[in-house]
């Protein structure tokens, strides 16, 4: 029984687009990026407002835990390599964009290029070459 469930993700060799899997991946991306923003707020406020910094730190840990739980749900029925690539790549892009928006930092052209490459790579992960070329 345990052996069958352990082999299930390798049989699919891809990402199954069910509502729960897609939602858990989106939640993981948002939570892991959001926790980084909360940790940045915590570090910035530590010298002047230690209570606010501590609250940001606790919230960052709670949001990070939610991201880890969402990642675990996404890993339940999918290949681990695809899930981690899907969460890690767009997660880095979302983190760059959210830090630029929250802290009003301009992104240079090379960071926009990197975000575009990450998004292109995430899209390419989900294209099935057999469907494209073999019909």
Concatenated DSSP letters for 53-109? HHHHHHHHHHHHHHHHHHHHHHHSSS-HHHHHHHHHHHHHHHHHHHHHHHTT-PPPH
pTM value surpassing 0.85: no
Q: 89-107: per-residue pLDDT in tens?
A: 888 888 888 888 888 888 8
Tell me the C-alpha distance between 125 and 89, whole Å.
11
Tell me the C-alpha distance between 86 and 64, whole Å.
17
Range in 5-9, 36-40, 52-56, 128-132 the model is least confident about: 5-9
């Amino acid at each position: 029984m345990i052996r069958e469930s352990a082999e299930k993700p390798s049989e699919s060799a891809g990402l199954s687009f069910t509502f729960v899997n897609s939602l858990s991946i989106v939640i993981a991306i948002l939570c892991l990026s959001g926790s980084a923003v909360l940790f940045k707020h915590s570090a910035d406020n530590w010298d002047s407002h230690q209570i606010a910094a501590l609250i940001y730190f606790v919230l960052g840990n709670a949001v990070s835990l939610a991201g880890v739980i969402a990642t675990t749900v996404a890993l339940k029925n999918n290949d681990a390599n695809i899930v981690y690539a899907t969460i890690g790549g767009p997660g880095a892009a979302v983190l760059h964009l959210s830090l630029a928006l929250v802290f009003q930092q301009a992104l240079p052209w090379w960071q926009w290029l990197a975000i575009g490459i990450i998004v292109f790579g995430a899209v390419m992960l989900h294209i099935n070459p057999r469907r494209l070329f073999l019909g």
